[in-house]
């Protein structure tokens, strides 16, 4: 019986060949059997969902016969809730307003899946009180303790989304955009406008293996809320939740929190479901507080009304300044001298990094560890920890680029491989010692027999250029290098055997020796960037500075060999 129930679950895809559970292969974007290798394809999901939907409508219609359920609409917040006839509450649990009775509930409004409550109201109240006492010194803990009389259990409306999602990713301080995609599985989005969706997301995941076909018996005597947002609002919430799912991987690949994700949903299949939630929604010290508990697992999440603001570029500013200070201290052998000279790059780094550097704002939600509730006899036990209830569905995005054959393929992106770091060192050395390098060449070709190379070669006389070049190198390392690296990545195609192959021509990832001057490296509009572009944008002043730099270079070169 239990096995039959699990096979009825439309969230499970089974192999057509051997009957084993099939998993989704994010790289190949299809369902495949880990047992025999049979590929099911995404169409199998659509076919099974369609069959399930038709069968479930018939079951719901048959099960509704003789049910005396009524729908009530709140005139203030618009919440749609269901109660057994004669048992409707006199007030709305979401805003406190009086309820208005409506017509008998239509069976076609009901969900297709439901996860039943596993934790009883008494057990849930005890667990929430324990959390509140542990956090009683916080405003949120005090708010929960003061409003436990409003603690209620509800079946809340969700839409379960399944299907492909793609995104364009951009990074602060760069011009290039990247493409990534994923396949949603087990992504549930709340469709109640009265509750904070971010807080509800924080109490997930649910154990979808326990999802069951909807039957009226599950909601008998229970509070039930219906969806009250539009289809467009639901899709927007789905994309917002997907962005949260994509964000950790995108930030890891792009090596910063300063990223922008633009999502586009594909042919998404959605299914209405009811999920068990205990919650408190109340005012405390003139601030709204929402505390929720997963009615299946026991995980708790509480909104704070506070936001975390960060500026990712501040870390770069600090690290670059520290690195410069340590380098100068090593070169001069004196920390005070190093600190004094570092004041100049400190200002330069601050100006360069703050330009186009975004402020990242994230809402703060307090939450317990992921949880899993189990019962031994009548005793409830709740295990907590990161791995206690893992999501069996992998929603991690995969980055893709076009390979040498023009086909869109999964890739790994690398921005600072060893070859590039060697190029960075060459760029820096050549820029600083450019007059000495030029002078050495002329000295070598003009040497007469019997002369020593150093007789007419004094590198120390190029100090004028060295001082200017030091500032240019700071600009290059703090701005040019980063723009160059993230606009011209090393792209490795992920092959089916798990190996990687470097794709793209050398021009797509090169750092030329004079790239900081805008030579050899182009932006997405085909224009060179760097010192040359900066001087050109400055007009007459840029021309003057360019000529001055050229004269300093020529003068320093001549001074070295005279």
State the residue for tokens 């190198």. 473
User: Is the separation of the CB atoms in 337 and 347 below 8 Å?
Assistant: no
Across the strands, what pairs with 329? none
State whether 195 and 248 are in the same domain: yes
Task: Determine the pLDDT at residue 467.
Answer: 80
User: Is the separation of the CB atoms in 366 and 304 below 8 Å?
Assistant: yes
Residue 288 in domain: yes
State whether 452 and 308 are in the same domain: no
Enumerate residues 6+ apart whose C-beta is below 8 A from 246.
Answer: 167, 180, 182, 261, 263, 395, 397
Rounded to whole angstroms, the Cα distance separating 204 from 276 reads 11
Rounded to whole angstroms, the Cα distance separating 448 from 450 reads 6
State whether 210 and 322 are in the same domain: no
Could you count the other beta carbons within 10 Å of the beta carbon of residue 294? 29
What sign has the CA pseudo-torsion 444, 448, 449, 453? Answer: negative
Task: Determine the pLDDT at residue 169.
Answer: 93
Enumerate residues 6+ apart whose C-beta is below 8 A from 509.
Answer: 420, 488, 489, 490, 491
Residue 75 in domain: no
Task: Determine the pLDDT at residue 278.
Answer: 94
Across the strands, what pairs with 381? 374
Tokens of 236: 């927007």
State whether 300 and 277 are in the same domain: yes
Tokens of 343: 């004041």
What is the DSSP pairing of strand 69-73 with strand 80-84? Answer: antiparallel
What is the DSSP pairing of strand 269-284 with strand 177-190? Answer: unpaired
State whether 421 and 556 are in the same domain: yes
User: Is the separation of the CB atoms in 431 and 473 below 8 Å?
Assistant: yes
State whether 498 and 393 are in the same domain: no
Q: 408-458 pLDDT, tens per residue?
A: 999 999 988 888 888 778 878 888 888 888 888 888 877 777 777 677 778
Task: Determine the pLDDT at residue 4.
Answer: 46
Residue 80 in domain: no
Rounded to whole angstroms, the Cα distance separating 102 from 105 reads 8
State whether 29 and 161 are in the same domain: yes
Segments forming the whole domain that contains residue 385: 2-64+110-312+358-401
Task: Determine the pLDDT at residue 259.
Answer: 87
State whether 324 and 344 are in the same domain: yes
| Rounded average pLDDT per 10-residue block, the chain, 562 residues | 48 66 56 67 56 57 51 66 50 62 50 88 92 89 88 90 87 84 82 84 87 77 81 84 86 87 79 91 77 93 82 80 82 80 80 70 84 86 81 78 89 88 80 86 79 76 82 71 79 88 78 52 54 63 76 86 76
User: Is the separation of the CB atoms in 357 and 172 below 8 Å?
Assistant: yes
Task: Determine the pLDDT at residue 13.
Answer: 63
Residue 44 in domain: yes
State whether 343 and 297 are in the same domain: no
Residue 127 in domain: yes
User: Is the separation of the CB atoms in 358 and 314 below 8 Å?
Assistant: no
State whether 222 and 333 are in the same domain: no
Task: Determine the pLDDT at residue 103.
Answer: 38
Rounded to whole angstroms, the Cα distance separating 38 from 15 reads 7
Tokens of 183: 């396949």
pTM, entire model: 0.68
State whether 272 and 414 are in the same domain: no
Enumerate residues 6+ apart whose C-beta is below 8 A from 390.
Answer: none
Task: Determine the pLDDT at residue 89.
Answer: 45
Q: 100-121 pLDDT, tens per residue?
A: 444 335 555 568 888 989 999 9
Task: Determine the pLDDT at residue 69.
Answer: 55
State whether 232 and 346 are in the same domain: no
Residue 94 in domain: no
Name which of 362, 328, 319, 306 is nearest 478 in CA terms: 319
Number of domains in the chain: 3
Residue 9 in domain: yes
Range list of β-strands (E), 335-489 = 360-367, 371-376, 379-384, 398-402, 408-414
Task: Determine the pLDDT at residue 101.
Answer: 42
User: Is the separation of the CB atoms in 466 and 458 below 8 Å?
Assistant: no
For residue 205, cis peptide bond before it (omega within 30 degrees of 0): yes
Domain-terminating residue out of 401, 418, 433 = 401
What is the DSSP pairing of strand 113-114 with strand 269-284? Answer: parallel
Cα dist from 13 to 29, 38, 185, 213, whole Å: 14, 12, 11, 16
Could you count the other beta carbons within 10 Å of the beta carbon of residue 27? 13
Query: Vertex 405, ends 401 and 410: CA angle to 5°?
Result: 30
Tokens of 471: 């500032």
For 192, list phi and psi in degrees, rounded to 5. Answer: -115, 120
Residue 71 in domain: no
Task: Determine the pLDDT at residue 438.
Answer: 87
């Amino acid at each position: 019986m239990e096995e039959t129930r699990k096979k009825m679950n439309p969230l499970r895809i089974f192999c057509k060949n051997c009957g084993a559970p099939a998993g989704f292969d994010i790289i190949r974007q299809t369902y495949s059997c880990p047992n025999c290798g049979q590929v099911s394809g995404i169409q199998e999901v659509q076919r099974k969902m369609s069959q399930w939907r038709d069968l479930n409508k018939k079951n719901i219609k048959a099960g509704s016969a003789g049910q005396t359920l009524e729908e009530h609409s709140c005139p203030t917040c618009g919440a749609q809730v269901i109660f057994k006839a004669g048992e409707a509450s006199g007030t709305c649990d979401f805003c406190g307003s009086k309820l208005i009775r409506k017509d008998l509930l239509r069976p076609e409004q009901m969900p297709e899946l439901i996860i039943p409550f596993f934790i009883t109201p008494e057990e849930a109240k005890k667990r929430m009180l324990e959390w509140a006492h542990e956090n009683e010194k916080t405003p949120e803990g005090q708010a929960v303790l003061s409003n436990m009389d409003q603690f209620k259990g509800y079946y809340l409306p969700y839409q379960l989304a399944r299907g492909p999602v793609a995104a364009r990713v951009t990074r602060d301080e760069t011009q290039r955009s990247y493409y990534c995609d994923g396949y949603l599985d087990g992504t549930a989005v709340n469709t109640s406008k009265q509750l904070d969706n971010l807080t509800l997301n924080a109490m997930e995941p649910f154990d979808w293996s326990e999802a069951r076909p909807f039957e009226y018996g599950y909601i008998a005597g229970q509070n039930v809320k219906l969806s009250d947002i539009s289809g467009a609002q639901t899709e927007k919430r789905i994309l917002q939740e997907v962005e949260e799912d994509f964000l950790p991987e995108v930030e890891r690949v792009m090596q910063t929190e300063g990223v922008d994700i633009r999502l586009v949903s594909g042919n998404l299949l959605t299914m209405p479901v009811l999920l068990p939630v205990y919650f408190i929604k109340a005012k405390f010290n003139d601030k709204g507080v929402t505390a929720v508990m997963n009615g299946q697992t026991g995980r708790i999440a509480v909104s704070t009304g506070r936001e975390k603001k960060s500026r990712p570029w501040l870390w770069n500013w600090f690290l670059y300044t520290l690195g410069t200070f340590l380098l100068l201290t090593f070169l001069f052998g004196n920390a005070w001298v190093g600190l004094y000279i570092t004041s100049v790059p400190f200002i330069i780094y601050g100006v360069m990094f703050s330009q186009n550097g975004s402020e990242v704002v994230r809402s703060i939600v307090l939450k317990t560890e992921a949880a899993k509730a189990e019962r031994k006899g009548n005793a409830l036990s709740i295990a907590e920890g990161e791995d206690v209830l893992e999501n069996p569905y992998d929603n991690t995005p995969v980055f893709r680029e076009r390979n040498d054959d023009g086909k869109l393929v999964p890739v790994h992106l690398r921005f600072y491989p060893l070859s590039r770091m060697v190029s960075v060192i060459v760029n820096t050395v050549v820029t600083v010692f450019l007059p000495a390098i030029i002078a050495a060449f002329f000295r070598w070709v003009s040497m007469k027999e019997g002369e020593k190379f150093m007789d007419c070669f004094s590198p120390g006389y190029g100090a004028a250029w060295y001082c200017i070049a030091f500032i240019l190198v700071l600009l290059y390392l703090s701005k040019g290098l980063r723009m160059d690296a993230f606009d011209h990545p090393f792209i490795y195609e992920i092959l089916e055997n798990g190996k990687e192959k470097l794709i793209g021509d050398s021009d797509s990832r090169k750092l030329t020796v004079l790239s900081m001057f805008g030579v050899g490296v182009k932006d997405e509009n085909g224009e060179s960037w760097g010192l040359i572009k900066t001087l050109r944008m400055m007009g007459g002043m840029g021309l003057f500075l360019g000529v001055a730099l050229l004269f300093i270079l020529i003068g320093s070169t001549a001074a070295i060999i005279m």
